[in-house]
């Protein structure tokens, strides 16, 4: 069953953050999934504290977590479909 990412025309942050953690899990398969969930939620909450507009918080969260993981030495795995 697939969860809807919208409620009343607005993105449901919990569903969107869970999807971001899943996406990051594919890009950083060596990082524990629970750690990714924690990082995504903590980063989102930290960014939300200072935000005056929250329209792009989920995207900003993914970018920040990605940068943090790279800075900590994690390797990004890019999926290859074998095409040239």
Whether 52 is in a domain gets the answer: yes
pTM of the model: 0.78
Whether 39 is in a domain gets the answer: yes
Residue 7: CA atoms inside 13 Å, Cβ hemisphere, count?
Answer: 6
Whether 63 is in a domain gets the answer: yes
Whether 82 is in a domain gets the answer: no
d(CA 67, CA 5): 25
Whether 5 is in a domain gets the answer: no
Residue range(s) defining the domain that contains residue 45: 32-71
Whether 62 is in a domain gets the answer: yes
pLDDT, tens only, 41-53: 999 999 999 998 8
> Mean pLDDT over residues 7-23, rounded?
81
6 SS3 class = strand
Residues 74 and 35 sit within 8 Å (Cβ to Cβ): no
Residue 78 has what pLDDT? 75
**Nearby residues of 14 by Cβ (< 8 Å), 6 or more positions away:** none
Whether 23 is in a domain gets the answer: no
Whether 57 is in a domain gets the answer: yes
Q: Which residues pair with 10 in a beta bridge?
A: 7
pLDDT, tens only, 29-80: 999 999 999 999 999 999 999 998 888 899 999 999 999 999 999 998 876 5
């Amino acid at each position: 069953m697939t969860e809807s990412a919208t409620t009343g025309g607005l993105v449901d942050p919990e569903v969107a953050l869970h999807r971001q953690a899943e996406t990051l899990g594919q890009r950083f398969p060596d990082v524990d999934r629970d750690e990714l969930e924690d990082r995504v939620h903590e980063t989102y909450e930290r960014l939300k504290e200072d935000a005056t507009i929250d329209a792009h918080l989920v995207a900003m969260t993914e970018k920040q977590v990605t940068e943090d993981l790279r800075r900590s030495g994690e390797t990004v795995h890019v999926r290859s479909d074998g095409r040239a």
